[in-house]
């Protein structure tokens, strides 16, 4: 594989170590950056994250990284992968800790799993679970139609009304597990914690 | 549907990885040895989670342990839990910055059960793994031991498990001291100590000698994950073969590969 230039956005939320390790394993030399100018000019972006949507969005806004990401993705047409909270930040907004507006790349809002939906299941949704992908997906190339990935989350997007190539997972209700449309890619699960399956998905993203 | 898990536990003491039998440690090799002779990079593709515990007797050196953890977690693309002597939020944060996704706590639970809540509010409940070393006393009652199995704590194991099941933990790692390193199989009676209303995932540990022991543990509906810390029972392709056997016998483990 060529050595794609990938910039991991560092906005102080969560551990970047495992994402960076996985990218290195795939032959990349990822940069980490919290500099808006660098992020706006990046070839390929990776937006990770674990934690609260509100805190994350405030961190992105205070540093101007939100506008830098928007410029890279929507003006310069650069490829981006959002992981877990990173995917949720790409939505229209979230109800976590009060309503907060997101980056708006994915036409859906993020809300918590309801007890009616999940029935006897526990929250957070933690562990390996089966993801059902669409045959047109780039991210799931060379993977089975149903593949196991590692999840840790209590908030989710629902697939209805979203345009794009979607993958879903069932946890009492069908929720959005992965999204791709043009240059925007996102996974609710953690590919960097999903063994060979996750490494394949990351490789696919790099090669799109 | 959530999958069950096969967990590999590494025991670390002052720079070396150890075999443990009834909590007596035997040195196996250092990090370099582990990476080259045991082919850890291959083993890590047969497990669903890695647990790394600093079981050093005497003074622990957190920075050295974090360094080893960072090296190990680099080639391990599954969730990593780490612990050993963790008694402060700062120590937990150090582990989380060295490649751990979760923090394992043990002795500090008995000193101050509120420590569990402190960790949960700082890092989230999913981040806290409560580990409990359990042994039956002469009267047949299971009790808990802290400080690497050297101090018996007041109260029964059932009492402590009950307390923890109400606390903000992500999961419970239940280890049999009597079976530890013996290869006789899990002590399934430990599962009878769990409250009926247990809603936290349970990792069963202590005593695995072969793949059928893993299967017996995973087949119990109260068990979410099984752990083995034996560095030699599954040497070579042992773990890979054990995993394949478990999956083909219908146990709901994640499936890797295309």
Domain ranges of chain B: 5-248
Q: How far apart are CA B84 and CA B60, in angstroms?
A: 9
Answer whether residue A5 shows pLDDT above 70: yes
Give the β-pairing of B128-136 and B102-105. Answer: parallel
Nearest by CB: B96 against A15, A130, A152: A15
Active-site residue, A169 included:
no
Answer whether residue A2 shows pLDDT above 60: no
For A67-81, what is the mean pLDDT?
98
Average pLDDT in chain A: 94
Strand partners, B130: B105, B172
What pLDDT is attached to residue B167? Answer: 94
**What are the φ/ψ torsions at residue B190 (nearest 5 degrees)?**
-60, -30
The lowest-confidence range among A4-18, A35-49, A78-92, B21-35 is: A4-18
Nearest by CB: A148 against B80, B126, B254: B254
Strand partners, A167: A178
Strand partners, A7: A31, A45
Strand partners, B226: B6, B204
Contact residues, chain A to chain B, C-beta under 8 Å: 15, 17-18, 21-22, 24-25, 50-51, 121-122, 124-130, 142-144, 147-148, 150, 152, 170, 192-200
Q: How far apart are CA B157 and CA A2, in angstroms?
A: 55
Q: How far apart are CA B18 and CA B134, in angstroms?
A: 20
Q: Calculate helix-pair angle for A17-25, A195-207, nearest 10 degrees.
A: 70
Q: How far apart are CA B140 and CA B133, in angstroms?
A: 16
Nearest by CB: A128 against B97, B101, B254: B254
DSSP 8-state assignment for residue B2: P
Which stretches in chain B have pLDDT values below 70?
A: 38-39, 258
User: For the segment A93-102, what is each residue's pLDDT rounded down to a tens digit?
Assistant: 999 888 999 9
Answer whether residue A65 shows pLDDT above 90: yes
Nearest 5°: the CA angle A150, A152, A157 is 100
- Residue contact A22–B77, C-beta within 8 A: yes
Query: Which of B7, B44, B243, B256 best tests the A interface by mutation, with the highest count of A CBs <10 A?
Result: B256
Taking Cα atoms as reference points, which of A197, A147, A151, A150 lies closest to residue A167?
A147
Q: Which residues of B touch A15 (CB under 8 A)?
A: 96-97, 99, 101
Give the start-to-end residue ranges of the domains of chain A: 6-207
Answer whether residue A3 shows pLDDT above 70: no
Higher-scoring residue by pLDDT: B8, A51: B8
Q: How far apart are CA A38 and CA A65, in angstroms?
A: 10
State how far residue B99 is from chain A, nearest Cα, in angstroms: 6
Question: Taking the model in full, what pTM does it have?
Answer: 0.92
Q: How high is the ipTM of this complex?
A: 0.88
For A151-176, what is the mean pLDDT?
96
Give the β-pairing of A146-153 and A125-132. Answer: antiparallel
CATH dotted code for B5-248: 3.20.20.70
Q: Which residues of A touch B168 (CB under 8 A)?
A: none
State how far residue B47 is from chain A, nearest Cα, in angstroms: 9
The catalytic site residues of B sit at: 133
Domain A6-207 has CATH 3.40.50.880: yes
Nearest 5°: the CA angle B157, B161, B166 is 155
Query: Residue B235: which residues within 8 A CB-CB, separation 6 or more?
Result: B38
Which residue out of A84, A125, A169, A180 is catalytically annotated?
A84
Q: Could you tell me the CA-to-CA distances from A106 to A41, A141, A165, A175, B94 in Å, in that order?
A: 22, 22, 11, 14, 35
Q: How far apart are CA B245 and CA B237, in angstroms?
A: 12
């Amino acid at each position: 594989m060529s050595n794609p230039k990938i910039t991991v956005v560092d906005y102080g939320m969560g551990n970047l170590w495992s994402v960076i390790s996985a990218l290195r394993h795939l032959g990349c030399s990822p940069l980490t950056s919290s500099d808006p100018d660098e992020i706006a000019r990046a070839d390929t972006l990776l937006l990770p994250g674990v934690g609260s949507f509100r805190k994350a969005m405030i961190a992105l806004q205070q540093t101007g990284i939100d506008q830098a990401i928007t410029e890279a993705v929507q003006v310069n047409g650069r490829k981006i992968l959002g992981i877990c909270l990173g995917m949720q930040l790409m939505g229209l907004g979230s109800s976590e800790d009060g309503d907060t507006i997101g980056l708006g790349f994915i036409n859906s809002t993020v809300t918590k799993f309801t007890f009616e939906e999940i029935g006897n299941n526990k929250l957070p949704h933690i562990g390996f679970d089966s993801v059902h992908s669409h045959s047109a997906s780039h991210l799931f190339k060379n993977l089975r139609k149903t593949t196991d990935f590692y999840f840790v989350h209590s908030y989710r997007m629902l697939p209805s009304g979203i345009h794009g190539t979607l993958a879903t997972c069932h946890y009492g209700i069908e929720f959005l597990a992965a999204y791709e449309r043009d240059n925007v890619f996102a996974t609710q699960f953690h590919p960097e914690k999903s063994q060979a399956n996750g490494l394949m998905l990351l490789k696919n993203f790099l090669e799109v | 549907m959530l999958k069950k898990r096969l967990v590999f536990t590494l025991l670390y003491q002052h720079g070396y990885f150890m075999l443990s039998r009834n909590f007596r440690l035997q040195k196996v090799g250092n990090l370099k040895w582990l990476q080259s002779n045991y082919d850890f990079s291959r083993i890590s593709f047969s497990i669903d989670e890695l647990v790394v515990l600093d079981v050093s007797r005497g003074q622990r050196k957190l920075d050295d342990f974090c360094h080893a953890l960072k090296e190990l977690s680099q080639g391990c693309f599954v969730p990593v839990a780490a612990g050993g002597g963790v008694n402060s939020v700062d120590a937990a944060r150090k582990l989380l910055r060295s490649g751990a996704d979760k923090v394992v706590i043990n002795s500090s639970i008995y000193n101050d059960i509120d420590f569990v809540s402190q960790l949960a509010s700082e890092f989230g409940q999913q981040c806290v793994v409560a580990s409990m070393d359990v042994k039956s006393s002469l009267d047949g009652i299971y009790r808990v031991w802290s400080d690497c199995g050297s101090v018996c704590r007041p109260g029964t194991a059932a009492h402590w498990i009950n307390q923890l099941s109400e606390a903000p933990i992500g999961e419970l790692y239940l280890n049999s001291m009597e079976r530890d390193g013996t290869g006789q199989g899990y002590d399934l009676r430990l599962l009878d100590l769990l409250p009926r209303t247990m809603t936290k995932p349970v990792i069963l540990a202590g005593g695995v000698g072969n793949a059928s022991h893993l299967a017996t543990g995973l087949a119990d509906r109260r068990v979410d994950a099984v752990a083995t810390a034996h560095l030699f029972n599954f040497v070579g392709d042992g773990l890979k073969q054990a995993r394949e056997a478990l999956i083909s016998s219908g146990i709901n483990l994640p499936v890797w590969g295309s």
